[in-house]
Structure 1
Amino acid sequence: MNCLIVEDNPATREFILDVIKDNFSEISCFSAGDLGEAENLFVKIHPELLVMDVNLPDGKSVDFLSKLCNQISAVHFKVIFITAFSDYAIDAIRLSAMDFLLKPISPVELIGAVNKSIDSLKKDVRYTELETFFYNLGQNQSAMGEKKIVLKTAENAHVLSIKQIYYASADNNYTAFILDYGEPLIVSQPLKYYDEKLGFLGFLRVHQSYLVNMDHVSLYDKRKESVLLTNGSQIPVSQSKKSTIMKFLNKQYL
């Protein structure tokens, strides 16, 4: 497997190179300091894994990837983004189930991201992730838009509109998503993971075991300590979350 590292800081570039070489003997690493160099290398080595800084001296890696996807007939690579700060692209990355690392990069997090990338390459979900990423990035750049998320079950990678999700519930180290159609989707990530992923999109952790899409809340029953959703589901509210719900409702609605 070939890996292309695109990072303008020489020390960070060497650090990533060393961590991957020391922990993944099956990966051959190549590096570039800017997008022009990266484009030349990409044509020569056809990497299966790209580790890219979001912002580079000669442009954004997002634009580079968009150009690549327009030029080739099929996506044969996985992307890990790296950045020194959270910017406009991070929300789109989160929802697409792609990986990103904040600088300074932890060796443990880098190794974990590479392992996840290898798994994704085996499951052939690269195009789904990139397509969702570009969709959400476009929605971020417009004032309004319908966001999408990739949910990976044991069998498939499901691309869903956020509004299709009523709520998510904890099932040990798994999360069950209740949708506006079909059976629940069971995903092998804990609820905390999706709390962090979906919190900025109007989802609220109303209970240790429940994450609710507040757009689907039709009633907050303070006496029964529960919220009623538009699909008829009644979700318990923990004592510690009562004030959080009221703050959310007071902020969102007149």
Structure 2
Amino acid sequence: MISAVIIDDEKNNIDNIVGLLQKLELVITIVGTATNAEDAIQLIVTTKPDLLFLDIQMPNKNGFELLKALPHYQFEVVFVTAFDQYGIQAVKFSAIDYLLKPVNPEELVAAVRKVEIKLSRKKENLQLENLMELIRDKDAKKEHKLALASTKEIRFVNTSDIIRCESSNAYTEFFLVDGKNIMVSRPIFEYEELLADYDFIRCHQSHLVNKKFIKSLLKEDGGYLLIEDNVRIPISRNKKENVLNALNNIKK
């Protein structure tokens, strides 16, 4: 899902875009709207959207001046304007797209599709960079990062910062040392292989645990691993011998 902010000094124009996005059932979540540049800047910094629908002509600061005022940005821009004197050709070269008011539904769909493709390529490039880093530094295991792609972002996480993984059908949830969780749409068995060299134990069909966060082995009810966050992770019968062997080989 693409997160988007709509910036336009006329609320009816904002409502029009929102209505079209809903009617067309596009993969867009509107995380905020603003009717002036000052509010928009704060909104962008706070929400970190993937996309801006940005009006060019606004009082005090126009759309271009708004962009100049931002310290940095990694979002895509679709300019929305009722005017052509700002150099539409220049806008076409530098923005993902532009829309003339009143917004045409077909042109809106085309603009969103372009954004989807560009964001997808960005994710692929980030994943490729991470892969090349792994290849270059294959012996420095503790420095390796895992690319976890959620619906909003790709987060690169140190393997040493992952406490455990838990499967839910075809999804895997990662529990991190900073208290945050990340859900990714990949099955846990893929991560079992990836994390095998980083002291992770597959103790159950639904659980993969980082050995360094294990506090103790509880023998009750078939066996549990007690994790440092006091969560009890079950040990399945067919995994018990492998778990015991792995625990006996914990690096000091």
TM-score for the superposition, normalised by structure 1: 0.48
Report which of the two structures shows the higher radius of gyration computed on alpha carbons: 2
TM-score for the superposition, normalised by structure 2: 0.49
